[in-house]
Chains A and B, each alone.
Chain A
Amino acid sequence: MLNWELGSEIFSSIKKNKLRTFLTGFSISWGIFMFCLLLCSGNGLRNGMVSNFGTRSVNSIQYWGRTTSIPYKGFPDNRPIQLDGKDVQLIQNRIPESYEITPLIYSNLAVSNGQFNTNSSFVGVNPEYQHINGIKIREGHFINSMDIREYRKVAVINQRLKEVLFPKESPLGKIFLAGELSYRVIGVFEEKDWGNQEKAYIPISTAQLLYNQNHGYHNIAFTINGLDTKEANEAFEKKFREQLAEIHIYDPADDRAVGIWNQLQNYLQFVGIFNGISAFIWMIGIGTLLAGMIGVSNIMLITVRERTKEIGIRKALGAKPSSILGSILTESVIITSIFGYIGLFLGVGIGELADSILQSPGMEEASHIFQNPTIHVGVALGAMTVLIFSGLLAGYFPARKAIKISPVEAMRYDV
Chain B
Amino acid sequence: MIRLENIHKTYYNGAPLHVLKGINLEIEQGEMVSIMGASGSGKSTLLNILGILDTYDTGKYYLNNTLIRNLSESKAAELRNTMIGFIFQSFNLIAFKNAMENVALPLYYQGVNRKKRNKAALEYLDQLGLKEWAHHLPNELSGGQKQRVAIARALIAQPKIILADEPTGALDSKTSEEVIRILREVNREGMTMIIVTHEQSVSEATDKIIHLKDGIIEKIC
Give the interface of A toward B (CB within 8 A). 4-5, 8-9, 12-13, 16-17, 309-310, 312-323, 406-408, 411
Chain B residue numbers with a CB within 8 Å of A317 are 80-81, 86, 105-106, 109, 153
- Nearest residue, chain B, Cβ from A313: B92
Q: Known pairs A5-B108, A314-B105, A316-B86; list 5 more (Cβ under 8 Å).
A: A317-B86, A317-B105, A317-B106, A317-B109, A318-B81
Cα A374 to Cα B151 in complex, Å, equals: 60
Chain A residue numbers with a CB within 8 Å of B111 are 5
Q: List 11 A-B contacts (CB under 8 A).
A: A310-B94, A315-B80, A316-B86, A317-B109, A318-B80, A318-B110, A319-B77, A321-B77, A406-B48, A411-B88, A411-B92
| Among candidates A17, A314, A319, A320, residue contacting B96 with C-beta atoms closer than 8 Å | A17
| Contact of B157 with A by CB under 8 A | yes
Chain A residue numbers with a CB within 8 Å of B66 are none
Cα A323 to Cα B74 in complex, Å, equals: 10
Chain A residue numbers with a CB within 8 Å of B153 are 317
| Chain B interface residue count, Cβ-Cβ cutoff 8 angstroms | 32
Minimum CB–CB distance for A162 against chain B, Å: 71
Minimum CB–CB distance for B76 against chain A, Å: 9
Chain A residue numbers with a CB within 8 Å of B113 are 5
Chain A binding surface, main DSSP class: helix
Minimum CB–CB distance for A279 against chain B, Å: 47
A12-B97, A320-B74 are known contacts. Are A408 and B106 too (CB-CB below 8 A)? no
A5-B108, A320-B109, A406-B54 are known contacts. Are A315 and B94 too (CB-CB below 8 A)? no
Q: Find out whether the CB atom of B73 lies under 8 angstroms from the CB atom of A320.
A: yes
Q: Find out whether the CB atom of A320 lies under 8 angstroms from the CB atom of B105.
A: no
A310-B94, A316-B53, A316-B80 are known contacts. Are A5 and B109 too (CB-CB below 8 A)? no
- Nearest residue, chain A, Cβ from B93: A313
Chain A residue numbers with a CB within 8 Å of B54 are 406, 408
| Contact of B82 with A by CB under 8 A | yes
Chain B residue numbers with a CB within 8 Å of A309 are 92
Cα A314 to Cα B157 in complex, Å, equals: 14
Chain A residue numbers with a CB within 8 Å of B81 are 317-319
Minimum CB–CB distance for A78 against chain B, Å: 90
Cα A316 to Cα B109 in complex, Å, equals: 11
| Contact of B114 with A by CB under 8 A | yes
Minimum CB–CB distance for B151 against chain A, Å: 13
Chain A residue numbers with a CB within 8 Å of B114 are 4-5, 8
A5-B108, A9-B108, A408-B48 are known contacts. Are A320 and B78 too (CB-CB below 8 A)? yes
Minimum CB–CB distance for B121 against chain A, Å: 13
Q: Find out whether the CB atom of A406 lies under 8 angstroms from the CB atom of B53.
A: yes
| Contact of B166 with A by CB under 8 A | no
Minimum CB–CB distance for A378 against chain B, Å: 38
